[in-house]
C-alpha cells in the first residue's frame, strides 16, 4: 500500500535538453513498480544532501496519468538552486527518489466548452499533463493556450504542441515573448495581456494558470475582481 511517505525510486531513463535552461527528465519506476496519480498533481524530488536530510522540491508531472510505469518532469534552471544544480549534474541511469503524488489542481469535469491554459516557463508541465491525459476523453473542446517565455531562445516544445494541435479538433496555442528580438512577429508582452482574445465572458470557460506567481495574481485579479468570474472557473498552481 503506498502513502505520502512511500519513497518511489525512479530510474532516469532519458534526459532531453530543450534549451540550455529547460531540461526534461524521463523517469521509469524501479520500486514500487507502479506510480499512480491524477492529472495536475506534482511530486517531491528528494535532492540528496550528503549525511543531512534530503532537500525537497516540487515538480508538476508533465506526462499522462494513464501511464503507471513512470513520468516526465520539466525543470527550469535556477542559478545556485539546490535542485537545479543536482538535476543539471545528472547524466542518465541514476535512481532518483520521489514522494507523492500531491496537489488538488485537477481538470474539472464535466468540462466547459472552452479550456484556457495560461502558463509561463516550465508551467507548461501541468497543462501538458491535462492535454495528454484528457485528449481521448474530450477531443472536441475548444482548447486555447498562451505560453509565456522570455525570448526566442527560451521557446521549447513547439513540435510537440504542433502535433497536439493536429491531433485535437480545436487546440490553438501561441507563444508570448516578454523580451523578443526585433524580428519577432508574434505576441509580445505577458500572457495576461492577451487573454481577452478568448471571449471568455461569452463562452463558458475554465482557466488553468501555472508557473510564475505574479502572472497568476494578475490574472486572478482581472478575472475575479474586474470581470466577475466564479472562483470555480479558475485553477492555479504557482511555482514560487
Ligand X SMILES: Cc1cc2nc3c(=O)[nH]c(=O)nc-3n(C[C@H](O)[C@H](O)[C@H](O)COP(=O)(O)OP(=O)(O)OC[C@H]3O[C@@H](n4cnc5c(N)ncnc54)[C@H](O)[C@@H]3O)c2cc1C
In the complex, which residues of this chain contact ligand X (CB under 6 A)? 42, 57-60, 74-76, 78, 80-84, 122, 125, 237, 239-240
Cα–Cα distance, 154 to 42 (Å, whole number): 23
Place of cell 535552461: 21
Rounded least distance, CB 179 to ligand X, Å: 15
Q: Which is nearer to ligand X, 29 or 212 (CB)?
A: 212
Q: Which three cell numbers stand for residue 181?
A: 528580438
Rounded least distance, CB 210 to ligand X, Å: 8
Phi, psi of 193 (to 5 degrees): -75, -15
Q: Which is nearer to ligand X, 105 or 141 (CB)?
A: 105
Rounded least distance, CB 70 to ligand X, Å: 16
Rounded least distance, CB 22 to ligand X, Å: 8
Q: Which residue is nearest to ligand X (CB)?
A: 81
Q: Which is nearer to ligand X, 105 or 195 (CB)?
A: 105
From residue 63, alpha-carbon distances to 192, 196, 239 in Å are 26, 29, 18
How many C-alpha atoms does 45 have within 13 Å on its Cβ side?
Answer: 25
Q: Which is nearer to ligand X, 70 or 81 (CB)?
A: 81
Q: Which is nearer to ligand X, 78 or 203 (CB)?
A: 78
Rounded least distance, CB 182 to ligand X, Å: 26
Contact 67/78 with Cβ under 8 angstroms?
no
Contact 72/26 with Cβ under 8 angstroms?
yes
Amino acid at each position: 500500500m503506498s502513502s505520502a511517505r512511500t519513497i518511489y525510486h525512479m530510474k532516469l531513463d532519458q534526459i532531453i535538453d530543450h534549451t540550455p535552461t529547460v531540461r526534461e527528465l524521463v523517469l521509469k519506476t524501479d520500486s514500487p513498480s507502479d506510480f499512480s496519480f491524477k492529472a495536475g498533481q506534482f511530486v517531491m524530488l528528494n535532492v540528496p544532501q550528503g549525511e543531512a536530510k534530503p532537500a525537497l522540491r516540487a515538480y508538476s508531472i508533465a506526462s499522462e496519468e494513464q501511464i503507471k510505469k513512470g513520468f516526465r518532469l520539466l525543470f527550469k534552471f535556477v542559478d545556485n538552486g539546490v535542485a537545479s544544480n543536482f538535476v543539471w549534474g545528472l547524466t542518465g541511469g541514476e535512481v532518483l527518489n520521489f514522494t507523492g503524488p500531491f496537489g488538488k489542481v485537477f481538470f474539472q469535469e464535466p468540462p466547459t466548452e472552452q479550456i484556457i491554459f495560461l502558463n509561463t516557463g516550465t508551467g507548461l508541465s501541468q497543462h501538458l499533463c491535462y492535454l495528454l491525459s484528457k485528449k481521448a476523453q474530450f477531443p472536441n473542446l475548444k482548447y486555447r493556450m498562451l505560453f509565456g517565455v522570455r525570448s526566442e531562445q527560451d521557446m521549447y516544445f513547439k513540435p510537440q504542441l504542433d502535433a497536439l494541435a493536429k491531433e485535437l479538433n480545436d487546440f490553438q496555442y501561441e507563444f508570448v515573448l516578454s523580451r523578443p528580438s526585433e524580428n519577432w512577429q508574434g505576441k509580445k508582452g505577458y500572457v495576461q495581456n492577451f487573454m481577452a482574445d478568448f471571449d471568455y465572458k461569452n463562452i463558458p470557460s475554465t482557466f488553468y494558470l501555472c508557473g510564475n506567481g505574479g502572472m497568476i495574481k494578475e490574472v486572478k485579479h482581472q478575472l475575479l475582481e474586474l470581470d466577475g468570474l466564479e472562483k470555480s472557473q479558475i485553477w492555479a498552481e504557482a511555482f514560487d
